[in-house]
Amino acid sequence: MNTKVNLAGVELKNPVMTASGTFGSGEEYSEFVDLNKLGAVVTKGVAAVPWPGNPTPRIAETYGGMLNAIGLQNPGIDVFCERDIPFLKKFDTKIIVNVCGKTTEDYCAVVERLSEEPVDMLEMNISCPNVKEGGIAFGQDPKAVEAITKEVKKYARQPVIMKLSPNVTDITEMAKAAEAGGADVLSLINTLTGMKIDIHKRAFAIANKTGGMSGPAVKPIAVRMVYQTANAVKIPIIGMGGISNGEDAVEFLLAGATAVSVGTANFQNPRATEEVVKGIEDYMKQYQFEDVQELIGLVK
């Protein structure tokens, strides 16, 4: 059985990766998950300088998911390169670094710095709904998406993944803009903007008032957007949003994703990523698929 997939020339042993921000840089999960079994580890977003993140509370449970407004807390690129990359290099998995910034120059500085590091791909988070500047400011305007993609590509040595926001009217417009800017791969979806009010405290459940919604409840929206995007662009797609098991992952592959990421499910079940790998293999055995690539975009 072949489970290998190819993303812009980078071969993954299977299509399963972690979703940025839900797996640290792998270390805290490595006692539950054999990282060697994953197609790739996607790190938490890293910026040019350390960011403190948003005030607490920053997460809240919702029906079938959660809201978060972490605000891209991170130690900055220097600590990341010294501490996290050497840890991940010990494993036989691909390393994808998620990058965040407030300005185009911020993104480019991190991308340039990473060009010397032994990482396989770079993912640009232009879709975080939880920071005031940067992030979403880029991800909701097709002209800005194209411009930042072009700029980042000038500095990148590794293939560039542009991570798209679902908080738009037409996801295919953003996808086409990223492709026109030279993106190698797209990933979607980031979280959907939501709100929860604590009726007993008569206050917002999270200090930022709004947060990004993720988890099983968002999966049908994510599958729809992956399907639409796969039919609008030629570059490969990493699908995510509510994947908890192999069957969920297969749904994204059938919709047109070449690879999948597991996010919120890690909080409930720290072994979720490994179980998704096994679940895809079980599905392939059950329906006698020899090659995982036969599944990609099979449902038209």
Ligand X SMILES: Cc1cc2nc3c(=O)[nH]c(=O)nc-3n(C[C@H](O)[C@H](O)[C@H](O)COP(=O)(O)O)c2cc1C
128 is annotated as an active-site residue: yes
Q: Pick out residues in 151-210 that bind ligand X (CB under 6 A).
A: 163, 190-191
Contacting ligand X (CB under 6 A), which of 246, 263, 279, 297? Answer: 263
Bridge partners of 188, per DSSP, are 239
Query: Which of 230, 254, 233, 231 has the alpha carbon at shortest distance from 243?
Result: 254
Q: H-helix or E-strand containing 250?
A: helix 246-255
| Residue count, binding to ligand X (CB under 6 A) | 25
Sole window of 109-117, 153-161, 200-208, 262-270 interacting with ligand X (rule: CB under 6 A) = 262-270
Q: Name, in order, each residue with C-beta under 8 angstroms of 267's C-beta and a sequence gap of 6 or more.
A: 22, 66
DSSP state, residue 81: I
Contacting ligand X (CB under 6 A), which of 30, 98, 149, 258? Answer: 98
**Ramachandran category for residue 48: left, alpha or beta (phi over 0 → left; psi -120 to 50 → alpha):** alpha
Residue 142's alpha-carbon distances to 111, 155, 164, 175, in angstroms, are 21, 21, 11, 8
**Ramachandran category for residue 6: left, alpha or beta (phi over 0 → left; psi -120 to 50 → alpha):** beta
> At closest approach, how far in Å is the CB of 195 from ligand X?
16
Return the number of the residue (149 or 289) whose C-beta is nearest ligand X: 149
Contacting ligand X (CB under 6 A), which of 45, 142, 239, 246? Answer: 45
97 forms part of the interface with ligand X (CB under 6 A)? no
Q: Pick out residues in 229-248 that bind ligand X (CB under 6 A).
A: 240-243
CB 123 within 8 A of CB 161: yes
Sole window of 47-55, 86-94, 142-150, 257-265 interacting with ligand X (rule: CB under 6 A) = 257-265
Sole window of 1-9, 18-26, 249-257, 278-286 interacting with ligand X (rule: CB under 6 A) = 18-26
Binding mask 55-84 for ligand X (x = CB under 6 A): -------------x-x-x------------
Q: How many CA atoms lie within 13 A of 142 on its CB side?
A: 12
Catalytic residue annotation = 128
Q: Interface residues with ligand X (CB under 6 A)?
A: 19-22, 44-45, 68, 70, 72, 98, 125, 163, 190-191, 214-215, 218, 240-243, 262-265
